[in-house]
Structure 1
C-alpha cells in the first residue's frame, strides 16, 4: 500500500478529490496543511448542516493506492491536467500493512447506557452484569449508541418504559431503529418506526431481526412495523411514548405532528438539540400544546421531554 500526498488550495480540493477517485484511489482524505501551527484553521459547522467551507486555504490531500506504480501513474495523469497547475506533490511513501478490520473493531467498545443495559458490537462479549444487551455494529447504521443524544434517549427508555406495562411506542426518524428496539427490549408491546430514508428502513429491519427475533409472535412477525411515514398505518394514531432523535430545525417543523401523536397522559421525548436551542424548542411545542422541559444534558446536547395532560385529546388526523 502506498500513500500519495498532495498540496492544494481550497479552490482545487473538490476537483482534485474527484480526480483521485476517478483514477481509482482506494481512499481520499483532506487535512489542514497548517495543522499544529499558528496558521491552523478551525473548520466546522452546525451538527447536521453543511460546513461553511469545503476545505482549508492550504489543504493536504492524502490518497491510498495498492502499489507505487499505480500511485505514480495517478499523479502523472492528474498533473497533466490544465487545472492542476497549482497542485504540488509532497511525496509517495509506503504504508505499513495492517489488519484494518481488526484495527477498526478495536476502536469500538461496548457502550453502557445503564449498569444493566449495554450496546455491544457483535465481536465483543456481553459485559458481566448486563441483563439487557443490544447487538449493534458501528458503520452506516444511522445511530449506534455512541452519540450523547442516542445514549440519553436509551437511558430514558430504560428508566421509564418498564413502568408502561407493555404499551406501544412511536420512533419518528428511526435511523437504525435503535430506540424502537431499545423500547421493545424493555417491555414495550409494539413499536412503530418511521423514517424518510429507505436505507434506514432496511437497517431497522435488520437490526430488529438481530435483537428482538425472540419476541416474534406465533405467525413469525416481529412486534415492530417500520416504513416511510406514509406507509406505517398505525403511525396515524396516538402513543403513550413518542420518540424523535433528529435535529432542532426539523423537530420545530414537526411540532404539531409529533405533539398530536402523543396520547393523553403520554410522553414526548426529543433529542438532537443543542443546549442553546432549548428556548426555541420550548416555544415551538408550547404552540402545539406541550410544555417541554430539559430532562438530561450531555456534552452540550440536551434531552427534552413533555407529558400531555390526561384530559387533552390527541390531535392527529385519521
Structure 2
C-alpha cells in the first residue's frame, strides 16, 4: 500500500478530494498542514450549523493506493488539470499493509439510482421495490455508483433506455464497467467498454460476469467487449449512445474521437465535469459539431449531453 501526500490551498481541497476518488484512491483524508505550529487553525461551528469554512488555509491531503505505480499515475493525471497549479506533491511512501479493501467496503450501502434501479453490494439484500439491481462491490477500478458523476450517468441510462434498446453502446473510460453493465441491464443489445487501465478491464469483466451472465449467448459469450482503447479503434458513427465519465481535461482532448463514435441520431453523454467547466466543454465539442447542454447537476458536478442530428437527403 502506498500513501500519496499533497499540499493544497483552501479553495482546492474539496475539488482535489473528489478528483482523488475519481482516480481510484482507496481513501482520502484531509489535515491541517500547519497543525502543531503557531499557525494551526481550529475549525468548528455551532451545534446544528455548518462549519464556517470547509478546509484549512493550507491542507495536507493523504490518499491511499494499492501500489506505487497507481499513486504516480493518479498524481500525474491530477497535476495535468487546469485547476491544479497550486497543488504540491509532498511525497509517495509505502505504508504498513492493512485490509483497506475490507475497511472501505464496510462504508458502502445500497445506492438508489431511481426508485426501481439500485446498485447493491453483495453483502446487502436487494431493497424491496428494486426491479433492476446491479451487484457491485468496491474494488480497484473507479465506479461504484456513490459518486455524483456515476449516479447521473446511470440515471440517464435508466430514463433513456428507449434511445438504445436493442442497440450497442460505448462506455469510454469504463472503470468498473458500471455504465456498460447498466446499459445492458436496461436493454442494450451489446456494449463495448474501454479503459487505459488493465485493472479496469479485469474489473469490468468480473462485474459483467456477476451481473449479466444471464445474457450470454449459446456459445457462452457475454454481450460485452472490453479492452484498451484500440478495441474500438476508428469505429466511426457506430454507437447510438456514447458515454464517457472521466475528467474535464481528457474529455476536451477526446472530443473529436468521442464525437466521431456517435451514430447519426445518437446521443453523447459526458460526466466528470464541474459546473464551472461547462463553457470549456461546450466550446470543445462545438468544434466537433455537437451542441452540449447540461442535463443534470449534483453537488457541483454536471452531466452534459448532446444529440447528433441525422443528415437530411438532398
TM-score by length of 2: 0.71
**Separation of aligned partners in 1, 2:197 and 2:249:** 18
Is residue 236–residue 263 contact of structure 2 (8 Å, CA) maintained in 1? Answer: no
- Structure 2 residue aligned with 1:38: 41
Q: What are the within-5 Å matches in structure 2 for residues 181-220 of structure 1?
A: 181-220=181-220
Is residue 117–residue 133 contact of structure 2 (8 Å, CA) maintained in 1? Answer: yes
- Structure 2 residue aligned with 1:128: 128
1:222 counterpart = 2:260: no
Cα RMSD between the aligned structures?
3.2
**Separation of aligned partners in 2, 1:147 and 1:312:** 40
TM-score by length of 1: 0.70
Instruction: Flag the 1:242–1:163 CA change in 2: closer, same or farther, 3 A.
Output: closer
**Separation of aligned partners in 1, 2:184 and 2:220:** 16
What SS does structure 2 have at the residue aligned with 1:267?
strand
Structure 2 stretches of 5 or more lacking a match? 1-6, 8-28, 43-55, 63-73
**Separation of aligned partners in 2, 1:261 and 1:156:** 19
Instruction: Flag the 1:223–1:53 CA change in 2: closer, same or farther, 3 A.
Output: same
**Separation of aligned partners in 2, 1:265 and 1:227:** 26
Q: What are the within-5 Å matches in structure 2 for residues 120-159 of structure 1?
A: 120-159=120-159
Give the number of the structure whose alpha-carbon radius of gyration is greater.
1
Q: What are the within-5 Å matches in structure 2 for residues 153-302 of structure 1?
A: 153-232=153-232, 235=235, 237-302=237-302
Give the Å deviation of 1:142: 1.6
Is residue 225–residue 232 contact of structure 1 (8 Å, CA) maintained in 2? Answer: no
Q: Which residue among 50, 54, 68 is the counterpart of 2:89?
A: 54
Is residue 31–residue 61 contact of structure 2 (8 Å, CA) maintained in 1? Answer: no
Give the Å deviation of 1:235: 4.5
Instruction: Flag the 1:269–1:65 CA change in 2: closer, same or farther, 3 A.
Output: closer
What SS does structure 2 have at the residue aligned with 1:311?
coil
User: Once the two structures are superposed, what CA deviation does each residue of 1:25-61 show, in whole Å capped at 9, x if it has no partner?
Assistant: xxxx8944645942752356999514612359xxxx9
Worse overlay, 135-144 or 272-281: 135-144
Instruction: Flag the 1:132–1:65 CA change in 2: closer, same or farther, 3 A.
Output: closer
Give the Å deviation of 1:161: 1.7
Give the Å deviation of 1:64: 6.0
User: Once the two structures are superposed, what CA deviation does each residue of 1:137-178 show, in whole Å capped at 9, x if it has no partner?
Assistant: 113132111110000000000000245331110111111110
Instruction: Flag the 1:167–1:278 CA change in 2: closer, same or farther, 3 A.
Output: same
Structure 1 stretches of 5 or more lacking a match? 1-9, 11-28, 67-98, 314-318
Worse overlay, 132-141 or 173-182: 132-141
Give the Å deviation of 1:197: 1.3
Is residue 113–residue 154 contact of structure 1 (8 Å, CA) maintained in 2? Answer: yes
Is residue 162–residue 188 contact of structure 1 (8 Å, CA) maintained in 2? Answer: no
**Separation of aligned partners in 2, 1:251 and 1:302:** 13
What SS does structure 1 have at the residue aligned with 2:78?
coil
